[in-house]
């Protein structure tokens, strides 16, 4: 099966049919023969009835009936075999489409930043990634199936009816199209209720994730009753929206069937006149039975065609929701780490989503082996500064590494330069070793020693093969931070950004990890974002951010020129206030 990279236009529904032309070709061949073969049913049914009458009149024998039955059974068996082949490859087509869509959707979702995903809301993303893709693929399957099971079969039945009595056939065929028109008119209602049901499902999924992930917090603060009440509201809303959607999609098909079968009244009257040699055609019982059976099957098929409209309309709702996320996925190239270089930041400014400046006019330079500290009050833009290096926030001014502007680099080139560790460790539900090496070859023990985690890991029952649970739940906060830092160090980059990596560590461990970090990163540049200033006297430069402005100097100069920085440092050090030290 071809991969999603060969799907030129994944945002176009027709491209999935073109990509699966081989199974669709087999579906087409087997479907045509199967549906033409369906005419054998009414034909043999009429012949059997006529043969039974002939036996009663002693014109035929039991062996004539047996021979006819054997032909009937053999023909039906061959037709059903064709049906099996057709449905097998239709299901394979649907499974392949489902796989392709989810693979492309996954590729687009993982290429989004965490901030963009949070704006999407996790419940809506989950609904799109699972339910909407399933509904869309199922709609395509039903459409492909019914083209033959309904479309070709209807043409065959209509042709047979016209051959037996074209006048009566035209009279009987007045009503089935009416069901199609009604189905088309109900399209808006089906789509509207379906869309509301999907939106409600997204809200319910989001509430479920929130209830599970924050269960301990709600329990500690006594908010469980309130959250349960809120969850009940989401559940009730989803139940009502789902019922409304299902009512319209489930209640209409029987109505379509009743409308299609109305023509039976004309068929019984005019068909009986044909049998009595008083109508437009002279029929025997076999012809009447065949015509009646053929029309009954046609009316059932026509009601399924109307039902198909509802299925396609529901699929259209899902397609509209997932289509914006089905863009061509770029093939991810392995990031090639570049050589160490000089970092030059000039007149840098970053704004929030509303275009409001968070900080402006930041300039500094850093050379190989230097560690730059970044600190300041809460919400002054420290983390946004770090993420600007990752390309998650657009910026004004310039960030150049080894003479190259970061905003002009490709994603692969940027990944080869910048390593990043956020203040919220993102760990996999896997072993300690797998979390560090991420599938690559290497010695995890070296990095465990660097972050002072080796003795604790060795004391665990399975050592570095210990599974840490979802998000590292089996580890303490400090162990999670150090494990995430070990992973960051294992994938060496010339520019490393650490966002509050020591917040859960005691001071002694923090100093040990820092000393090891300096030794192993002598050929790179580190930007250390932190609220804890114990280590800042040992840093090469310090950036103080406050009130949309940034001041760059070494620790000693900042202690003299910036009272707020001095106050914060002395308070943490335990040596009194800035005023008493002057």
11's CB contacts (< 8 A; 6+ apart) are 323, 326, 327
Degrees to nearest 5, angle at CA 304 with 300 and 305: 115
Please state, in angstroms and rounded to a whole number, the distance separating the CA atoms of residues 143 and 349: 53
13's CB contacts (< 8 A; 6+ apart) are 140, 319
Select from 447, 420, 414 the least CA-distant residue to 432: 447
Select from 385, 374, 380 the least CA-distant residue to 500: 374
Tokens 């060969």 identify what position? 6
Beta strands in 352-394 (DSSP E): 357-366, 371-375
Please state, in angstroms and rounded to a whole number, the distance separating the CA atoms of residues 218 and 227: 8
**CB contact at 8 A, 479 and 513:** no
Please state, in angstroms and rounded to a whole number, the distance separating the CA atoms of residues 294 and 472: 65
pLDDT of residue 2: 43
Angle subtended by helix axes 133-146 and 62-110, to nearest 10: 150
Tokens 């709609």 identify what position? 139
pLDDT of residue 242: 86
pLDDT of residue 308: 66
The partner residues of 404 in beta bridges, in order of sequence, read 401
Please state, in angstroms and rounded to a whole number, the distance separating the CA atoms of residues 466 and 448: 13
Please state, in angstroms and rounded to a whole number, the distance separating the CA atoms of residues 550 and 565: 12
pLDDT of residue 306: 58
**CB contact at 8 A, 32 and 86:** no
pLDDT of residue 281: 84
The strands making up 343-351's β-sheet, listed across from edge to edge, are 357-366, 343-351, 395-401, 404-405
pLDDT of residue 63: 87
188's CB contacts (< 8 A; 6+ apart) are none
**3-state SS, residue 372:** strand
Q: What is the mean pLDDT of each run of 10 residues along the chain (582 residues)?
A: 56 85 88 80 81 84 88 88 88 89 80 66 66 84 77 79 85 76 71 81 82 78 83 88 79 69 79 82 83 79 65 76 77 69 92 85 92 91 89 89 90 86 85 90 90 92 90 88 92 91 87 89 90 91 91 92 91 62 47
Please state, in angstroms and rounded to a whole number, the distance separating the CA atoms of residues 156 and 582: 100
Return the H-helix or E-strand segment holding 351: strand 343-351
Beta strands in 446-514 (DSSP E): 495-499
Tokens of 167: 């006048």
**3-state SS, residue 337:** coil
- pTM for the full model? 0.64
400's CB contacts (< 8 A; 6+ apart) are 343, 344, 345, 346, 406
CB-neighbour burial class of residue 97 (10 A; exposed 0-12, middle 13-18, buried 19+): buried
pLDDT of residue 578: 44
Select from 112, 6, 117, 104 the least CA-distant residue to 326: 104
**CB contact at 8 A, 276 and 17:** no
**CB contact at 8 A, 385 and 345:** no
**CB contact at 8 A, 209 and 122:** yes
Please state, in angstroms and rounded to a whole number, the distance separating the CA atoms of residues 35 and 83: 8
**CB contact at 8 A, 425 and 482:** no
**CB contact at 8 A, 489 and 447:** yes
Angle subtended by helix axes 224-261 and 187-213, to nearest 10: 160
């Amino acid at each position: 099966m071809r991969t999603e990279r060969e799907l030129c236009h994944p945002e176009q529904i027709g491209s999935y049919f073109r990509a699966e032309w081989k199974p669709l070709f087999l579906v087409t061949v087997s479907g045509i023969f199967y549906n033409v073969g369906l005419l054998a049913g009414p034909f043999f049914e009429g012949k059997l009835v006529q043969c039974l009458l002939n036996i009663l009149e002693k014109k035929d024998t039991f062996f004539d009936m047996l021979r006819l039955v054997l032909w009937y059974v053999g023909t039906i068996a061959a037709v059903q075999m064709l049906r099996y082949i057709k449905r097998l490859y239709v299901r394979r087509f649907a499974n392949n489409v489902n796989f392709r869509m989810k693979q492309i959707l996954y590729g687009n979702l993982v290429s989004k930043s965490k901030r963009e995903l949070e704006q999407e809301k996790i419940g809506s993303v989950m609904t799109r990634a699972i339910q909407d893709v399933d509904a869309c693929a199922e709609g395509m399957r039903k459409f492909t199936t019914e083209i033959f099971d309904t479309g070709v079969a209807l043409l065959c039945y209509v042709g047979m009816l016209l051959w037996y009595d074209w006048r009566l056939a035209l009279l009987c065929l007045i009503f089935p199209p009416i069901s199609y028109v009604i189905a088309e008119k109900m399209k808006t209602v089906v789509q509207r209720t379906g869309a509301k049901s999907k939106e409600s499902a997204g809200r319910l999924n989001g509430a479920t994730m929130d209830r599970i992930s924050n269960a301990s917090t709600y329990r500690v603060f006594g908010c469980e009753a309130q959250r349960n009440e809120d969850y009940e509201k989401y559940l009730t809303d989803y139940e009502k929206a789902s019922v409304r959607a299902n009512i319209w999609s489930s209640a209409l098909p029987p109505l379509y069937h009743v409308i299609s079968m109305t023509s039976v009244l004309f068929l019984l009257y005019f068909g009986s006149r044909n049998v009595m040699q008083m109508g437009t055609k002279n029929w025997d019982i076999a012809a009447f039975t065949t015509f009646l059976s053929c029309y009954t099957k046609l009316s059932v098929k026509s009601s399924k065609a109307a039902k198909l409209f509802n299925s396609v309309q529901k699929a259209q709702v899902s397609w509209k929701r997932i289509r914006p996320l089905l863009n061509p996925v770029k093939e991810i190239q392995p990031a090639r780490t570049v050589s160490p270089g000089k970092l030059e930041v000039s007149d840098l400014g970053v704004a929030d989503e509303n275009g409001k400046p968070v900080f402006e006019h930041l300039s500094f330079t850093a050379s190989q082996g230097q560690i730059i500290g970044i600190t300041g009050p809460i919400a002054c833009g420290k983390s946004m500064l770090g993420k600007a290096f990752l390309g998650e926030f657009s910026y004004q001014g310039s960030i150049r590494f080894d003479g190259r502007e970061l905003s002009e680099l490709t994603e692969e080139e940027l990944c080869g330069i910048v390593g990043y560790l956020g203040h919220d460790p993102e760990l996999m539900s896997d072993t300690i070793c797998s979390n560090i090496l991420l599938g690559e070859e290497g010695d995890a023990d070296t990095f465990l020693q660097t972050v002072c985690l080796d003795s604790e890991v060795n004391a665990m029952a399975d050592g570095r093969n210990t599974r840490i649970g979802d998000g590292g739940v089996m580890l303490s906060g400090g162990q999670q931070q150090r494990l995430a830092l070990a992973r960051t160090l294992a994938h060496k980059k010339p520019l490393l950004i650490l966002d509050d990596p020591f917040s859960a560590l005691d001071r002694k461990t923090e100093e040990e990890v820092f000393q090891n970090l300096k030794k192993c990163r002598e050929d790179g540049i580190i930007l250390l974002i932190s609220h804890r200033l114990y280590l800042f006297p040992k840093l090469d430069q310090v950036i103080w951010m406050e009130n949309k402005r940034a001041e760059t100097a070494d620790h000693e100069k900042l202690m003299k020129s910036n009272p707020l920085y001095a106050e914060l440092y002395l308070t943490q050090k335990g040596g009194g206030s800035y005023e008493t030290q002057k």
